[in-house]
Amino acid sequence: MAGRRDGWRGWTLLEVCTVLILLAALASLAVPGLQLLRESSRRSQCQSHMAGIGLALQNYHQAHGLLPPAVLRAGSSERFDLSTVNSRGVAHRQQSSGANWAVMLLPFRGAQALADSFDWSAAVMDPANAAPRSVELAMMKCPCDPHNNAANAYRMTSADGAIDALFARGNYGLNCGTSGLDHSPGKPWRPAPGGGAVKTLWVGNRLVEQQWGNGVGGVNKSYSVQDFKNGLSNLVGVDELRAGVVPADARGVWALGDAGSSMTWRHGLLGDAGGPNCPRHRADDTIGCNQAHEALGVEGLVAEGMTCCSYSEAAIQATARSAHPGGVNALIMDGSVRFIANDIDLSIWHAIHSNETRELPIPEARVSPESALRPSPPAPIPKHEPQADAPPTITNSIGMRLVLLPAGDFLMGLADAGEDTGDPVTGVPPESPPHKVRLTRSFYFSAFEVTQAQYAYVMGKNPSWHAKGGGGEGQVYEQNTSNYPIENVAWTDAAAFCRGLSELPEEKAAGRRYRLPTEAEWEYACRAGSTVPFHAPRTYDPDDPDGFNVFFYSDQGFALAAVGSYRPNAWGIYDMRGNAWEWCHDWYGWDYYAHSPRDDPQGPEQGVVRVVRSGDWRFTGHACKHAKVESEPWVKNAYIGFRAACDR
């Protein structure tokens, strides 16, 4: 041993430095791997908790024959102001509520004692429920969420000081659907084909209000799994949520039945919170966003992935959110858990959160617009150049007048005057830029919307909501409505009408083939050669000859009228800016404008929802809120009709 000590010469400074550099390099390589391992473990725990929720939902349904409602509420009038006002000086409004779905599932998740500690006869914010609502439940946590901790408990404080309640956080929300903010059928100037529903009923001696959309639960509303048209393997039951960034931010609260707290709601194509981890600066309309904005500001909330509307008055809209890189976890109603990427096609996201979707498989983690996981594409529209001596107008065998529109080009998606500000927040969204389009062939376009009488002649029935005996009989027009636009027809009905019209003997003999116009053809006809932004009216004028349905924020607008009630545009086409809205041929694609072909665009080859057009083009904030209403092709609405194009 002595010889060995004598032979030891020690480490030189160079050798020490070399070893340290090597160790540092190995450590730097190990850190990302360790982070990935930790994230994988956190995601696995999150998914495991979701799977437990799925099993509890199945057991609840087996015991009760129904799924739990999203929340129980006594009455729509039981609201109170919170202690702060939003940026517009309006107090936040919270609704007094009872047990929500998470509380109702406690006995089915091995937490009977906690369930028994709730006073189910009292509101969840009542002092009687102070202890159970503040319990931090591991099974309601996703460990990746940095804000889900006792120090950041949600604090609800009413303006009068009568309520000062703490709630534990949670990371899971029942999917209440993608329905828009308006209730069906909406208004003539803003149809709501995917809107929610409201019903008031007596329960015992108390009047309660049900509210529901197209998800798996609603306010005082339960579903059976037999109600789901798309089956259990195509429908999201529970989405991941994140806890609010400050104690006043009510997002992510397991025992509180509000949008963003324990529900996702109105997060599809028809709102501005569409998609997982929606980055748009006004996405979630939830309680406490004003305080979140004061703490982090718009840029901070965008960076945090927790954007919300600072002036929201109540909790009415919220999407799925997580701190996982790239996406969110979702519980499918068949009990499986999927990881859904942030860049999933929004049409797919919309579809898998709607209980009305049909024949659409759940996508894998990443779904591109070119994915094959969509319905089979329709056959392309055949193009027939009209004969050289084609008349400028024709009237067909059922009295439909059609105008020959020339081939030409135009700027599609041109914002209305005053709407294109150039601001990155309030200007034209990058996914929908104005772009040059060229229609290479002339075609015939119906001068009027298809009428009730014309539809009944071809299809043998009049399903109009506004006709006598229709769904809107309580507000039916007293006069004969046969010359009013047909509405309350699905896209599939409109397409069937065009096929039926084409098969009439007189039309076959004339060689006329009818179809729905493409969106590009519709807008081309609407602009009628104009190259300047449309100056939309800012006030309601009942004598406006254009029949334009005024802006969506107005409570006034034109009701439906007989076709041709207003003056035509420069090409002799009526009601393009008013009367019924109209189905177009195209599938809807969120960013289709950014990559559509210049010549004869026909929309994406595949999709989930179809384009509806009326009015003109406008923008609201980040979101493309032009006068286009996307809707599933089987959905009917009291304010959506169509007109026909004709190739000859």
Task: Tell whether 318 and 408 lie within a shared domain.
Answer: no
pLDDT tens digits, 229-288: 878 988 999 999 999 999 999 999 999 999 999 999 999 877 788 899 999 888 999 999
What band does 296 get if pLDDT is binned at 50, 70 and 90?
Answer: very high
Q: What is the mean pLDDT of the chain?
A: 83
Q: Is the pLDDT of residue 81 over 90?
A: no
Task: Name, in order, each residue with C-beta under 8 angstroms of 76's C-beta and a sequence gap of 6 or more.
Answer: 95, 209
What band does 11 get if pLDDT is binned at 50, 70 and 90?
Answer: low
Task: Tell whether 218 and 128 lie within a shared domain.
Answer: yes
Q: What is the CATH number of the domain that holds 612?
A: 3.90.1580.10
Task: Tell whether 405 and 333 lie within a shared domain.
Answer: no
Tokens representing 604 are: 């994406």
What band does 83 get if pLDDT is binned at 50, 70 and 90?
Answer: confident
pLDDT of the residue at 44 = 85
Task: Tell whether 510 and 635 lie within a shared domain.
Answer: yes
**Domain presence at residue 594:** yes
- Left if phi > 0, otherwise alpha if psi is -120 to 50, otherwise beta: which for 479? beta
Q: Is the pLDDT of residue 89 over 70?
A: yes
Strands (E), 30-131: 79-85, 91-95
pLDDT tens digits, 504-543: 999 999 999 999 999 999 999 999 998 888 776 666 565 6
For 30, the enclosing helix (H) or strand (E) is helix 13-64
Last residue of a domain, one of 322, 352, 382: 352
**Domain presence at residue 211:** yes
Task: Tell whether 278 and 397 lie within a shared domain.
Answer: no
Domain count, the chain: 2
Rounded distance, CA 401 to CA 399, Å?
Answer: 6
* Nearest partner of 261 among 173, 132, 201, 130, judged by Cα: 173
Nearest-5° Cα angle at 105, 101 to 110: 155
What band does 618 get if pLDDT is binned at 50, 70 and 90?
Answer: low
For 330, the enclosing helix (H) or strand (E) is strand 327-332
pLDDT of the residue at 150 = 94
**More confident call, 25 vs 335:** 335
Task: Tell whether 177 and 325 lie within a shared domain.
Answer: yes
DSSP SS3 for 516 = coil
* Nearest partner of 585 among 415, 331, 379, judged by Cα: 379
Task: Tell whether 517 and 454 lie within a shared domain.
Answer: yes
**Domain presence at residue 379:** no
pLDDT tens digits, 23-68: 676 666 555 555 555 667 777 889 999 999 999 999 999 999 999 9
For 292, the enclosing helix (H) or strand (E) is helix 289-304
Cβ neighbours, 10 Å, residue 364: 13
Q: Is the pLDDT of residue 553 over 70?
A: no
**Domain presence at residue 363:** no
Task: Tell whether 59 and 111 lie within a shared domain.
Answer: yes
Task: Tell whether 273 and 141 lie within a shared domain.
Answer: yes
Last residue of a domain, one of 352, 383, 401: 352
**Domain presence at residue 299:** yes
**Over residues 580-607, mean pLDDT:** 90
Rounded distance, CA 449 to CA 574, Å?
Answer: 8
- Using a cut of 0.85, tell me whether the model's pTM lies above it: no
Task: Tell whether 241 and 327 lie within a shared domain.
Answer: yes
- Torsions phi, psi for 415 (to 5 deg): -65, 150
**Domain presence at residue 13:** no
Domain membership of residue 188 as a residue range: 51-352
Task: Tell whether 237 and 106 lie within a shared domain.
Answer: yes
pLDDT of the residue at 376 = 40
The CA–CA distances, whole Å, from 92 to 83, 156, 287, 311 equal 8, 11, 7, 9
Task: Tell whether 447 and 501 lie within a shared domain.
Answer: yes
DSSP SS3 for 506 = helix
C-beta separation of 619 from 427 below 8 A: yes
Last residue of a domain, one of 352, 373, 407: 352
**Domain presence at residue 27:** no
Q: Is the pLDDT of residue 291 over 80?
A: yes
C-beta separation of 330 from 274 below 8 A: no
pLDDT of the residue at 468 = 78
**Domain presence at residue 330:** yes
